Chain A
Amino acid sequence: MQDLGFSVDRGDLKLRSGHWLRERYFDFLCPAVALILFFSLWEGYVRLSGIQNYILPGPLEILQGLVEHRGKLVSHSLVTAFEMLLGYSCSIIFGSLFAFLVVRSSTLDKALMPLFFFSQTVSKIAIAPLFVIWFGFGILPKVLVSFLISFFPIFISTSAGLKSVETEMLELIHSMSPTTFQVFWKVRIPTALPHFFAGARVAVPFAAVGAIVGEWIASDRGLGYYLLLMQGDFDTAGLFATILTASFTSIALYLLVARLERLFLPWHVSVRGEQQLGLTV
């Protein structure tokens, strides 16, 4: 209790480390109180100041907008979710594939790494209009932007994971004269999975950004299109509702990935709790 910086605050709150229930409660309570306070202040400000609703609608009005636009929001978010999922799946497949190749062969490592790092300096968002010129107004340019943006975090963390195997582990399995497949299956993949999932979680909002930016450039459907429509109408409550829907879409995929992570890595969950914030790009 005496040698860590935070023990002082703990004492103030009369929380003892044994009482996990109270700690959990506290973890939940702090953000909940903050959010409720925030929304009530917001609603109060909007009511009292008489600010025009096209500048700042209150939380209740945004809820109304959500209900009012629900049909359109669902259909447009399905389009965006589809583009996002396709782009994201491509980056999962190609990201892990290239990570395998790079780890498998040092020649490929030397040849591909500089190219990938060079490609990182080109803003994918800046080249999005190119894809519209090349591939037209359909779904393909959006999927491509989404893929290109979310590819790198997955590739980098997976290859880092595949490389981070301890030498002792490799020596151990090599003493049993394994096939290359066995080395990957028994040692490298289990080591790489936590890294892979860390990258996959970071990549989710990137995929959403890619799909929405693609829709901004040229599209007549999708949440990106609907955002600009709402902006043009000065329907700010609808705009907020669309922003919320886009966030929900992204968060839903994030939760799905987190769920899969728990499924695949039950042994790692306890460690993960503390590292949830770790952005391993």
Chain B
Amino acid sequence: MRNVWGGSMRLWKNLLKAEILYPAAAIALFLVFWHLAVVFFQLPPTFLPSPIAAFGKVFRSYDTFITHAVVTISEIMGGFLLSVIIGVFTAFLMSWSRIMDRAISPVLVFLQTVPYITVAPLLIIWFGFGLAPKIIVSFLMSYFPIVISTVTGMNAVETDMIDLVRSMSGSKWQIFWKSRFPNSLPYFFGGAKVAVAFATSGAIVGEYVGSDRGLGYLIVLANSDTNSELLFGTVIVVSAIGVSFFWLIRWLEKILIPWYVTFRREEERRVIA
């Protein structure tokens, strides 16, 4: 009894170390080095403010950051949700019909190599300085990882599974719903974690090109005033938003596909222990 508990406690501790302790230590070390570099080389604050000054800026003018962060967050969510909806639908079409797959996949391979942010100035001409152009850039950047990983997942179903559904005279729709769709979920979440970071970059870039609010606007403003404290503060807020979205997706993954998360954790445990 004691052995069993002792064993699993050790596994949990190892997992804790890998998931929380090491990254936290890395971040702490990074901040300490940053601070020491500023103090030691006596860098001027316009060149590099200390981490204390940067975080202080975030706390002092938190209301400014919140106002602008709300704008950026809604753009990220708009773009990301759009790419989830349209991306999953595209993946569905591609796995549903061979004609669709043949028509869409060469186009996707081609489009994947296009640097999408270049359309941002065009979208500003079309839609003005509002939310729409940022949502679209954010969507364009995050669309591909979602389509590609979802369609990979839908096509990676074992033939035995399809045969099983078919042996119970399942329709094409049932094959999709009972085997292809559940099988694609882990892949989908893998793609979504990459995509949400791209969506964040897309929203910020959209704001660089033309806007009067949002964190990207704040960065441009700080840059033109050479206000490094504001710049670093904004970078910290943007990073915090990125990390929060990443964790949100991990949490959703845990709720929606608990079977896969447990499986992966077992695998991780085996590797770590």
- Assess the A212–B148 pair: CB atoms within 8 A: no
Task: Give per-residue flags for A252-281: 1 if the beta carbon is below 8 A from chain B beta carbons, else 0.
Answer: 001000000000000000000000111101
Min CB gap A199→B, angstroms = 13
* Contact (A277, B105) CB under 8 Å given A10-B98, A54-B125: yes
Interface residues, chain A, CB within 8 Å of chain B? 3-6, 8-10, 13, 26-27, 30-31, 34, 54-55, 110-111, 113-115, 117-118, 120-127, 129-130, 132-134, 204-205, 208-209, 212-213, 216-218, 223, 227-228, 230-231, 234, 236, 239-240, 242-243, 246-247, 250-251, 254, 276-279, 281
With both chains docked as a complex, state the minimum distance between the C-beta of B171 and any C-beta of chain A, in angstroms: 11
| Identity of the chain A residue whose Cβ is nearest the Cβ of B25 in the assembled complex | A114
Query: If A26-B102, A126-B235, A228-B121 touch, does A133 touch B223 (CB 8 Å cutoff)?
Result: yes
Q: Does B124 contact A (CB under 8 A)?
A: yes
Would B238 and A129 count as touching, CB distance under 8 A?
no
Complex A-B, nearest 10 residue pairs according to Cβ-Cβ distance, in ascending order: A114-B26, A231-B121, A6-B98, A129-B223, A208-B115, A9-B98, A30-B103, A254-B113, A114-B23, A126-B238
Judge whether A209 and B114 touch: CB under 8 Å. no
B181 CB, min distance to chain A CBs, angstroms: 13
State the main secondary structure of chain B at its contact with A.
Answer: helix
Q: Is B152 an interface residue (CB 8 A)?
A: yes
Chain B residues with CB under 8 Å of A134's CB are: 47-48
Residues of B within 8 A of A254 (CB): 113
Q: Out of B23, B107, B162, B239, name the residue touching A122 (CB < 8 Å).
A: B239
Residue of B nearest to A228 (CB): B121
Q: Does A27 lie within 8 Å of B159, measured CB to CB?
A: no
Stretch with Cβ within 8 A of A (4 or more), from B2-10, B55-63, B201-209: B201-209
- Specify which chain B residues have a CB less than 8 angstroms from the CB of A124 in the assembled complex: 201
B109 close to A123 (CB less than 8 A): no
Cβ-defined contact, B235 with A234, below 8 A? no
